[in-house]
Amino acid sequence: MPHDLVAALRPLLTAEASAEAYASGAEPADLEQAVWLRLLERLDVHGPPHDPQDWLRRAVRTEARRRRRAVRHERPCAGDPVDPGDPRDRDPELLAVAAAGRRTLRDAVRRLPGRCPRLLEALLAPHDPTYRDIAGELGISQGSLGPERSRCLGCLRRLLAPEVASR
């Protein structure tokens, strides 16, 4: 049943997400992914919707509204370039500050206890591995990655707190 539902809803979801994406500031694929997750959550708790097409349209609009609200509240950090790959952003001072920040972060990650350095390096890998890939690489269960990541980030925050406070 879920496979048939996915196959039946995919074209509608693609069209709806494409229509809503521009106004919400999101990528259509991001909206699609969020709606698929909502559908999985719903199937797990309540089963399939009575009117799947109507449910899907409402879910896309809800996710687009959620994205618009998030964009309104997001602010770039002061002094950080908005997009490091932007060719207009070649101010040597900003580039030097950004490089120093990356060095400080890498040094702090290396000082973390246990398998935190390997976990955070895997999460930040340029080839963007999945949780399954990371779990296989580290030899831990996929379900423990989230809690482990949370603990490691907490350690990293505590380690960097004096650095941030001194600035």
- Each residue's pLDDT tens digit in the chain (167 positions)? 467 888 899 999 999 999 988 887 788 888 899 999 999 888 888 888 999 999 999 999 999 998 888 777 766 665 555 555 555 456 788 788 888 888 888 888 999 998 899 999 888 888 888 888 888 888 888 888 888 999 999 999 888 887 666 55
pTM for this entry: 0.46
pLDDT at 4: 85
Q: Where in the chain is the domain with CATH 1.10.10.10?
A: 93-166
CATH topology of domain 93-166: Arc Repressor Mutant, subunit A (1.10.10)
pLDDT at 61: 93
pLDDT at 130: 87
Q: Find out whether 70 and 62 touch, Cβ atoms under 8 Å.
A: no
pLDDT at 127: 83
Q: Find out whether 59 and 35 touch, Cβ atoms under 8 Å.
A: yes
| Residue located via tokens 């879920």 | 2
Q: Find out whether 112 and 155 touch, Cβ atoms under 8 Å.
A: yes
The candidate with the shortest Cα–Cα distance to 155, out of 99, 115, 97, is: 115
